[in-house]
């Protein structure tokens, strides 16, 4: 079965096939922002997408191995043999595209457990908006694309304390940050940096104000949330001990498998 060249249509195809096989596969990453945010589909905040990133239940990991092969994807066999209980990687050789699937836990700069969140918003192709935002806010070495993705989320969704599909659940985010000082540190730093990024963006003044107001609203919820004893003890140590991971080794494994079209031409 041949993959579609358009990553948006291919993501839809994969998820619809998964649904027919009772596999609860949810998009994360830039494409998930595209599906959730009208502002990401055109205009100043639109961008190019390549890879597909998903979260799925660990209990369905065995089914996924055959599922992606049936859709024409080539497994990253060594990586999957070593890491297959928590993460799987497949390649679309026709389009030089990678598919990355996290099983229950999204683990990059920080660890986010989505095992109880995959069923929150069953009607969507993506994980809940709050979780999608967290996957961006946990990044240490972010780029302009990450910042623009977050700006899209704030522009198109207000902050509330519910997972209704239309709002960012600020109560949920603040609860997690009140338990983990390291995540709190990264999230609040990135929210501050995002305000500066938005202020310099080439978008209208009203949109800038809306995004900044919502960033301030979420930041206020995070700061006002009572912190756990574990959080307070870790806060005493502060930045003397590193509070995040940089997935350098993982990046090497992920990037080393598929030649780009340019590389194929040169070889």
Q: How much is the pLDDT for 248? A: 58
Check pLDDT > 60 for residue 129.
yes
pLDDT in tens, 255-265: 444 444 444 33
Question: How far, CA to CA in Å, does 184 sit from each of 44, 89, 212, 225, 260?
Answer: 30, 29, 19, 11, 37
Per-residue DSSP letters for 152-188? HHHHH-EEESS-SSSEEEHHHHHHHHHH-HHHHHHHH
Which uninterrupted H or E stretch holds 25?
A: none
Lowest mean pLDDT among 8-12, 61-65, 92-96, 262-266: 262-266
Q: Which percentage of the chain shows pLDDT scores above 90?
A: 85
- To 10 degrees, what angle do helices 129-137 and 181-199 make? 90
Check pLDDT > 50 for residue 205.
yes
Question: How far, CA to CA in Å, does 175 sit from each of 69, 171, 180, 207?
Answer: 39, 6, 9, 28
Taken in order of first residue, the domains within the chain and their CATH numbers are 7-260 (3.30.460.40)
Q: Strand, coil or helix: what is 116? A: coil
pTM score, two decimals?
0.91
């Amino acid at each position: 079965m041949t993959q579609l060249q358009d990553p948006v249509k291919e993501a839809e195809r994969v998820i619809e096939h998964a649904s027919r096989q009772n596999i609860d596969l949810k998009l994360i990453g830039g494409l998930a922002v595209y599906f959730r945010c009208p502002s990401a589909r055109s205009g100043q905040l639109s961008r190019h997408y390549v890879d597909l990133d998903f979260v799925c239940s660990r209990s369905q990991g065995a089914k996924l191995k055959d599922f992606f092969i049936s859709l024409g994807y080539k497994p990253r066999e060594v990586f999957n043999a070593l890491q297959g209980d928590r993460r799987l990687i497949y390649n679309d050789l026709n389009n030089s595209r990678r598919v990355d699937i996290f099983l229950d836990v999204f683990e990059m700069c920080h660890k986010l457990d989505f095992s109880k969140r995959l069923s929150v918003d069953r009607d969507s192709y993506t994980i809940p908006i709050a979780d999608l935002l967290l996957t961006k806010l946990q990044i240490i070495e972010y780029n302009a694309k990450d910042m623009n993705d977050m700006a899209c989320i704030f522009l198109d969704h207000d902050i509330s304390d519910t997972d209704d599909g239309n709002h960012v659940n600020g109560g949920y985010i603040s609860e997690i940050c009140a338990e983990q000082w390291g995540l709190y540190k990264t999230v609040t730093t990135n929210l501050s940096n995002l305000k500066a990024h938005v202020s310099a963006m080439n978008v209208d003044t009203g949109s800038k104000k809306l995004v900044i107001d919502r960033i301030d609203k979420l930041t206020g919820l995070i700061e006002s949330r009572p912190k756990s004893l574990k959080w307070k003890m870790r806060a005493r140590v502060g930045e003397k001990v590193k509070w995040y991971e940089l997935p350098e080794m993982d990046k090497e494994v992920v990037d080393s498998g598929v030649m780009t079209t340019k590389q194929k031409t040169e070889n």
